[in-house]
Amino acid sequence: MPTVSQWWEYFRKGTQHYKNDTVHWDAWCNSCLKHRTNEIVQFQRVTSQSSGSAGVVMSYEDAEACVMADKTASFYMPGKIDRMVRHLSSCPNVPDSVRQAAALERFQSKSRGKENRPPTPIIPP
């Protein structure tokens, strides 16, 4: 059973808080981020080769910074576990095992939520 911090293994934690959220950090899905960055790097390599203009290719780091600057990306989210797990459960870029574990976690946290809601508040002695 993965713990909260284990889900962070699949995410890049930002250095800032998400929008106006003072609790949650910026988070990007690592697999999607890598995938998108590689796409940009590959695309630039192809276009610079065909046009013959060398030196316009962004480094991987620069391309990644561009990807992370796009706050409309579907793999950019607040670092809330339920949001992260929800993304992983339908992420096309993570291994099947991760997607399945995330789907299971979503299912279990839903049923946990129901069980853990007592009909009356428990007052400590």
- Residues near Zn ion (CB under 5 A) are 29, 31-32, 75, 91, 93
CB-nearer residue toward Zn ion: 57 or 68: 68
Q: Is-contact 32 93, C-beta < 8 A?
A: yes
Return the sign of the alpha-carbon dihedral for residues 115, 120, 124, 125: negative
Q: What is the CA radius of gyration of the chain?
A: 19
Minimum gap (Å) between residue 39 Cβ and Zn ion: 13
Angstrom distance (rounded) from CA 119 to CA 104? 26
Least distance between Zn ion and beta carbon 64 (Å): 15
Q: In angstroms, what is the minimal distance from the CB of 75 to Zn ion?
A: 5
Task: CB nearer to Zn ion: give 63 or 84.
Answer: 84
